[in-house]
Amino acid sequence: MATASEVRALFEARLKDGIPNPPGEFNPSDLERVKDDKYINRIIAHMENNVQLAADMLWDIMVWRKTVGANELNESNIRMDYVQEGTFFPHGRDIDGSLLMVIKSKHHVKGQKDMEEIKKIVIYWFDRIEREEGGKKISLFFDMDGCGLGNMDMELIKYLITLLKLYYPFFLNYIIIYQMPWVLSAAFKVVKTLLPAKAVEKMKFVTKDTLKDIVAPDQALVCWGGRNEYVFKFVPENRSEQTPAKKVTFAEQGDNQHSLGEMLRLVPNDVIVFKTDSDEVSGQFTITNMDESAISFKIRTTSPEKFRVRPSSGILGPGLSQTVTIVVQAGFQTRSSTKDRFLVMSVQIPKTDLTQKELAEVWQNSSSSKVDEYRLKCQFPENNLTRNGNLVEGKSNIGSDSVTNALNNLQMHYELLNKQVTQLKIFQFLTLLLTAFTVLLGYMIYKGLDEEKYCDRI
């Protein structure tokens, strides 16, 4: 297993050999990243635990960031008229709690804007999100509704993929393509060839009806069929409120794995296992405060209508624990709910006896970098479904993966049908043309015979 110290040692050895000019000395802010175990571990995960490849990637990131001046990009030196059009903006979260980086594709027409300025804007947003989210993953959300061939810019898409492959490690959660027009199907087949195999698995083609499988309705914009009434308005970044990234080392403690420097330990720490007991499907997990100060926690789910969570929030002193019980509400099927997620958030508080108003102010004034987040998946009983509170054994159910496959098959058959219709139209045109030619030829022959008869009479 590769470690941050091994990668750092290889990088520092290369640093002693000197930095080529250009680009010249690395930015001090970037060199601070090298000291951050959490950032180095992102690179290690990105390069699948290969120490040498991770060290090479770290070096390449430093060179690239100095070359493009990534640290210097801000609201004063990027095209704010481009930004305010709202082609790119972060808002909402997917079912895993990852921030959505929205690309409103219909606002972008290939060749109409300076591509170098657009690239700066993309770097600005990626860097800003990294700072505000503490390096947590994001999902690219391509809103393709209302798009045509003119909105499909392969140069821009290739650039986004390059950034995520080479310079923003372990940063991508999903690539969500919403309402893709069938005329762009061939273009996205090309996009798939540009992605690593693991990234292809992250591509999710969704429609207004299936979006809820990947983005909860309360996170989806109204224009996507959701309930979120947000309308993009640019808000300048306030970097003075941000705190440096925590230096994290990792200690493995079996199922009780906990990262030093983080607030909570969750048991289990990845999957909530639901069980059936007295016609009720429920699961549990335990939260322990590993911080030196008191903390406040909140629990959110992608499907609040399905679950009863007790407690859904609370306060824990240092070293104290809380068991959280989750019950599936009567009438909801569980085998089809494998995409449900729970998000546990925590923030430090000065004391345990805060009033509700004081507690609300703490959460309101806490930036994303000060809030720890932990994500849990769900595992339900293998052969059970709940229906009106009663358990039904052995009933099959079409899961969301089957629905996705069915939609993909439908899309494929639609494209084939469209091709056949086009061929049929061509065949009909040729048939009409041949018929017209036959009629004309017959008419000419008839006229010729008629003229011969006339001449014979004379």
Chain CA centroid to CA 175, Å: 5
- Tally of helices (H runs) and strands (E runs) in the chain: 11, 19
Cα separation, 414 vs 176, in Å, equals 21
Query: What is the structure's pLDDT at 292?
Result: 82
pLDDT score recorded for residue 260 = 41
pLDDT beneath 70, residues of the chain: 240-261, 333-338, 368-369, 382-421, 447-458
Task: Choose the CATH number for 255-397 among 3.40.50.720, 3.40.220.10, 2.60.40.10, 1.10.167.10.
Answer: 2.60.40.10
Q: Residue 415: its pLDDT value, please?
A: 59
Alpha helices in 295-337 (DSSP H): none
The residue type at 281? V
Peptide bond into 311 cis (omega under 30): yes
Of the candidate CATH numbers 3.30.390.30, 3.40.50.720, 3.40.50.410, 3.40.525.10, the domain formed by 87-240 belongs to 3.40.525.10
Which residues have CB under 8 Å from 414's CB, separation 6+? 182
- The pair of three-digit structure tokens given for residue 234, joined into one six-digit string: 């640019």
Report CA torsion sign: 261, 264, 267, 271.
negative
Which residues have CB under 8 Å from 455's CB, separation 6+? Answer: none
Q: Are 140 and 103 in contact (CB under 8 A)?
A: yes
What pLDDT, on the 0 to 100 scale, is given for residue 457? 55
3-state SS assignment for residue 221? strand
| Domain boundary assignment for the chain | 4-71, 87-240, 255-397, 403-458
**pLDDT for 9-22, tens place per residue?**
999 999 998 888 88
pLDDT number for residue 255: 38
Strand partners, 287: 266, 322
Instruction: Identify the pLDDT of residue 405.
Output: 52
